[in-house]
Chains A and B, each alone.
Chain A
């Protein structure tokens, strides 16, 4: 769902307000949450952090309906969007679990074209192993170039 204030961004945060004694739910984006007087999670001051804490406490994930209390109680997340909504909380948790680490490793392939390139890279790598074993160094050099070209092609299709 798109943000119900600006309509330009994904409305990841469910925000409940009491208007004339009635609960009204909005799905709003991070930017609009900031403009509505909430601090962004990037704020670093002590006050900012308290505000951020408050946003996290009040926030409800628009996709699965979970609150931070659900996450804490179950030790799990309700959906992938929770990782956006509760990002600062998660950063903290991950720092405790894994240290200040970022993901290193596989990046998913999102289309068939890339899949084909990755397959081709694997085949050429196998040919390269054989060439090295047989001490065919000229062929090996050629195969290395080929892998490089394929890797570049892979990166190009990222854009």
Chain B
């Protein structure tokens, strides 16, 4: 049952891979999560596997009763292979800890993959919502509804002063984190990025790499997240993050303009070389593919490359990861084999017309 679900998910990218939202050429995705715990149950960290199992069943019953999840997916970690778990991590639908800390973890995901609810993570529930481009408030709106629906069925642990009670005191209050994944190649080239990151830190914005906590910066992708959760309302936190992202988008656009004014030939050369490599390479490591796709993304944003669409590049970025590749080609692969199939996959995606009319 679970592997049938995964197969279905492999065939169809998450809805937010199709970039329609504002600033999509620079903002890859917007993400919001709520941390929630249920009254009368110990936090995961002090619960036994059996207590987690009981809670999992209770919560699954409550959540699957909600309209959005009636035709959604229910996944139990104990039923998944490690490659299937990695696949979910690669899609940002679940965390690494959820997969490998306990067998009693799981996730409930709507069929468009806009909402993913992790059960028995560090908190009983981690309710996450995703959208393409800069759409924090839009995500908040639909996630808020889901949160209300769950809260009316299962009673949340809450304190008048402390807000939502969470296992880690850093999440207390709203239990919310708002983040955006942004692509800033021009700011990296002009080296303005270092100054910007330093300034963001004073504003208590967390800056991390493409694959989240503890990962390095790859392909000029930066994940910006709010860190304060107590003392500010959800709307307030979201508007602060949104404003900061908008400012950075503006700076990236200016830097691109400056580059094109001062070094157009060098920039175009870099972009076309990346395109050539991408199209004709026979072996591609994951890092190489991410870096080439970054140059290509810049080329598309600048209008230098016109026969590739952002949607194709977004899909690429997700599918060139190891578990995705192995599930697409339905076999286990070693490093060499993966590099070979990655190059093949890239070629397949790029040879499609730029409307990206493959939904397969």
Q: Are B43 and A103 in contact (CB under 8 A)?
A: no
Interface residues of A in 74-96 (CB under 8 A from B): 74-80, 83, 90, 93-94
Interface residues of A in 34-89 (CB under 8 A from B): 63-66, 74-80, 83
By a CB distance below 8 angstroms, the chain B residues around A77 are: 43, 165, 167-169
Alpha-carbon separation in the docked complex, A97 to B162 (Å):
13
Alpha-carbon separation in the docked complex, A10 to B359 (Å):
57
Q: Are A109 and B230 in contact (CB under 8 A)?
A: no
> Tally of A-B residue pairs with Cβ under 8 A?
114
Interface residues of A in 88-128 (CB under 8 A from B): 90, 93-94, 97-99, 101-112, 114-115, 118-119, 122
CB closest residue in chain B, given A80: B157
Q: Are A110 and B152 in contact (CB under 8 A)?
A: yes
Among A66, A109, A118, contact of B46 (Cβ-Cβ < 8 Å): A66
Q: Are B230 and A98 in contact (CB under 8 A)?
A: yes
CB closest residue in chain B, given A75: B168
Interface residues of B in 136-188 (CB under 8 A from A): 144-145, 147-149, 151-152, 155-165, 167-170, 172-174, 176
Alpha-carbon separation in the docked complex, A101 to B229 (Å):
10
Q: Are B173 and A90 in contact (CB under 8 A)?
A: no
Binds A, one of B81-89, B104-112, B213-221, B231-239: B231-239
Minimum C-beta distance from A122 to chain B (A): 8
Return the CB mask of B35-53 against A: 1 if under 8 Å, else 0. Answer: 0010101110110000000
Q: Does B284 contact A (CB under 8 A)?
A: no
Given contacts A109-B151, A115-B149, contact A78 B232 (CB under 8 A): no
Alpha-carbon separation in the docked complex, A19 to B159 (Å):
36
Among B39, B161, B230, contact of A80 (Cβ-Cβ < 8 Å): B39
By a CB distance below 8 angstroms, the chain A residues around B231 are: 98-99, 101-104
Among B147, B149, B158, B170, contact of A97 (Cβ-Cβ < 8 Å): B170
Q: Are B43 and A94 in contact (CB under 8 A)?
A: no
By a CB distance below 8 angstroms, the chain B residues around A98 are: 172-173, 228-231
Minimum C-beta distance from A73 to chain B (A): 12
Q: Are B162 and A103 in contact (CB under 8 A)?
A: yes
Number of interface residues, chain A, beta carbon within 8 A: 35
Q: Are A94 and B45 in contact (CB under 8 A)?
A: no
Number of interface residues, chain B, beta carbon within 8 A: 42
Q: Are A97 and B46 in contact (CB under 8 A)?
A: no
Minimum C-beta distance from B160 to chain A (A): 7
By a CB distance below 8 angstroms, the chain B residues around A112 are: 152
A interface: dominant SS: loop
Among A78, A90, A103, contact of B42 (Cβ-Cβ < 8 Å): A78
Q: Are A105 and B174 in contact (CB under 8 A)?
A: yes
Alpha-carbon separation in the docked complex, A5 to B43 (Å):
27
Minimum C-beta distance from A97 to chain B (A): 6
CB closest residue in chain B, given A74: B45
By a CB distance below 8 angstroms, the chain A residues around B229 are: 98
Alpha-carbon separation in the docked complex, A76 to B159 (Å):
17
Alpha-carbon separation in the docked complex, A125 to B181 (Å):
30
Q: Are A104 and B167 in contact (CB under 8 A)?
A: no
Q: Are A106 and B234 in contact (CB under 8 A)?
A: yes
Given contacts A63-B42, A64-B43, contact A105 B37 (CB under 8 A): no
By a CB distance below 8 angstroms, the chain B residues around A80 are: 37, 39, 43, 157, 165
Alpha-carbon separation in the docked complex, A110 to B154 (Å):
8
Minimum C-beta distance from B65 to chain A (A): 12
* Candidate in B41, B148, B236 with the most chain A CB atoms within 10 angstroms: B148
By a CB distance below 8 angstroms, the chain A residues around B149 are: 115
By a CB distance below 8 angstroms, the chain A residues around B43 are: 64, 76-80
Q: Are B39 and A94 in contact (CB under 8 A)?
A: no
Minimum C-beta distance from B137 to chain A (A): 13
Interface residues of A in 125-152 (CB under 8 A from B): none
Among B122, B152, B173, contact of A103 (Cβ-Cβ < 8 Å): B173
Alpha-carbon separation in the docked complex, A62 to B170 (Å):
23
- CB within 8 Å of A: which residues of B? 37, 39, 41-43, 45-46, 122, 144-145, 147-149, 151-152, 155-165, 167-170, 172-174, 176, 228-234, 236
User: What are the 6 tightest A-B residue pairs by CB atom distance, in nearest-first order?
Assistant: A101-B231, A103-B163, A80-B157, A78-B46, A98-B230, A105-B233
